[in-house]
Amino acid sequence: MNVSKAEIIISAVSQAQYPQDDLPEIVLLGRSNVGKSSFINTLIRRKALARTSSQPGKTQTMNFYRINEQFYFVDMPGYGYAKVSKKEREKWGMMIEEYLRERKNIVQIFLLIDSRHEPSEDDRLMYDWLCYYGLNPVVIATKSDKISKNDAKKALKKIRNTLSAKQEQEVILFSAETLLGKEEAWKCIEEKL
């Protein structure tokens, strides 16, 4: 897809603030620092529309980026970030859960998992929860530039096994550095628009 326009519409913390123009939404989920905001920037070829940081916990609101006035990327706060207070975590959890369960505009969910590590308990819970609610995500194995080709193969297997993923589960090896997986990810989006 040729992205000619990309703009932040709202950083939302509650339902009342979600956009009301009724466009399809593509959602980025995953633990803090896994590369959600970088994924968006990579796909739309902007360096820093979605703010990224080497410090986990950068994205703390649900950020709606409108692309070509055609659909939204929804960049979510990451989970599993220890330095956030329990109360804060619960608030995010509720906000995200409410959005995922009630928002009718969601057409695709990407669950991002770091290809260098085994999926965490939080990753597994999120995956199971999404599948349970019929929100079957496409899994993105991020930061593949940091591992060898051979390790990447192993990582994909590990992710599948740890998540007990079904055969038909799509897992895309991705890198914001080498752009590996970018076209494949776009295909998943275009299919749903």
Query: Which residues in this chain contact Mg ion in the complex, by CB under 5 A?
Result: 36-37, 58-59
Q: Please give the Cα distance from 39 to 143 (Å, whole number).
A: 10
The residue number whose beta carbon is nearest to ligand GTP equals 78
Among 172, 176, 185, 189, binds ligand GTP (CB under 6 A): 176
Q: Binding to ligand GTP by residue 115, rule CB under 6 A?
A: no
Q: Which does 189 bind (CB under 5 to 8 A by kind): ligand GTP, Mg ion, none?
A: none
**Can you say whether residue 68 is alpha, beta or left, with left for phi > 0 and alpha for psi between -120 and 50 degrees?**
left
Q: From start to end of 6-128, where are the E strands?
A: 6-12, 25-30, 62-67, 71-75, 106-114
Q: Where are the alpha helices (DSSP H) in the chain?
A: 36-44, 86-102, 121-132, 149-163, 182-190
CB atoms within 10 A of CB 191: 9
Q: Please give the Cα distance from 14 to 70 (Å, whole number).
A: 23
Among 44, 111, 142, 159, binds ligand GTP (CB under 6 A): 142
Shortest CB 147 distance to ligand GTP, Å: 10
Shortest CB 33 distance to Mg ion, Å: 8
Site string for ligand GTP, 35-64 (x = CB under 6 A): xxxx-------------xxx-xxxx-----
Residues in 74-113 that interact with ligand GTP by CB under 6 A: 77-78
Q: Among candidates 60, 33, 37, 34, which has minimal Cα distance to 48?
A: 37
Helix, coil or strand: residue 114: strand
The residue number whose beta carbon is nearest to Mg ion equals 59
Shortest CB 22 distance to ligand GTP, Å: 26
Residue 152: both structure tokens together? 């990447």
Q: Which does 146 bind (CB under 5 to 8 A by kind): Mg ion, ligand GTP, none?
A: ligand GTP
Residue 69 CA to its chain's centroid (Å):
20
Shortest CB 58 distance to Mg ion, Å: 5
Binding site for ligand GTP (CB under 6 A): 30, 32-38, 52-54, 56-59, 77-78, 142-143, 145-146, 175-177
